[in-house]
Amino acid sequence: MAATSAAAVDAMDPGFARASGENFPVALRLLPTSRRQYLMAVYGFARTTDDIGDRAPPEQRSRLLDELEDDLRRLYDGQSAAGAGPKTQVVRALGPAVTDCGIPMQPFADLIQANRQDQVVGRYQSFEDLLGYCRLSANPVGRIVLHVFGCFSERRAELSDSVCTALQLAEHWQDVAEDFRADRIYLPAQDMKEFGCTEEDLSLGTAPPQLRELIAFEADRATAMLDAGAPLIGTLRGAARVAVAGYVAGGRAALAAIAAAGHDVLRGTPVPRKQRQVGELLLAYVRGR
């Protein structure tokens, strides 16, 4: 990777500053320093990958994603010769987490692949098609988190996948207007047709009744998936339990915000209140689901 390309990648999310913002669960600030630092590095990689796919000049995105994956391979190759290791700060920062927690490369590669898909796919015909995208864009993060806390198992990974897909869906439903402006529609075309929605509806300043009904339907789907995966919390202890309860709480608060907005996601992005997030966190942690 040329030095200029490395700089372009790191410029996407310098210093991981946004990790302390709205996308980083409140619960993670309560974690032990080492685990929090590992998760911050993971967040920085995921954030940078998304920013390349969304914010880099369109003609450079595919190349930068390819070069990011090449740099990731350098990290996993473990080359120690001068100049042979990762070139980018965001990949170098993953080193301690990868080494100490035994995180495999595939989940990181899947996040890159999801952003490649974003460059060529802007519409999803069916809900199953959308779930396939979530398997690349969301589920890898949960699997990485399980590795960070040393509690990965196939059963936990299955529950985590359900939670992470639900979180991704909730984010999509919050961001319908923003995604539409970027020429992306994650609402499945089959569902839009069934509810009588058109792409023109998504350009309006407020959601018409048929779109609100569709968002309510999709939000119920996300809620069911979140509830199906939430028993993962009860299998965990200590910091891992806090972290996963925080993710589940964030999803529930986001879905509650969508409902509180009357499922009108065009007037503005429904944002959950911090008080609601904290309340959901405590409830999820105590109940274990």
SS3 at position 185: strand
Residues pairing with 123 in the sheet? 185
Per-position pLDDT tens, the chain of length 289: 454 566 666 666 544 334 333 434 556 667 888 899 999 999 999 999 999 999 999 999 999 999 999 999 999 998 545 557 899 999 999 999 999 999 999 999 999 999 999 999 999 999 999 999 999 999 999 999 999 999 999 999 999 999 999 999 999 999 999 999 999 999 999 999 999 999 999 999 999 999 999 999 999 999 999 999 999 999 999 999 999 999 999 999 999 999 999 999 999 999 998 899 999 999 999 999 9
Where are the chain's structural domains?
30-120, 123-129+151-289
Pick the CATH number of 123-129+151-289 from 1.10.600.10, 1.10.3720.10, 3.10.20.90, 1.10.167.10: 1.10.600.10
CA end-to-end span of the chain, whole Å? 44
Rounded to whole angstroms, what are the CA distances from 8 to 22, 25, 102, 204? Answer: 24, 27, 28, 35
Q: Which two tokens stand for residue 152?
A: 């990965």
Q: Residue 220: name the closest of 188, 259, 253, 247 by CA.
A: 259
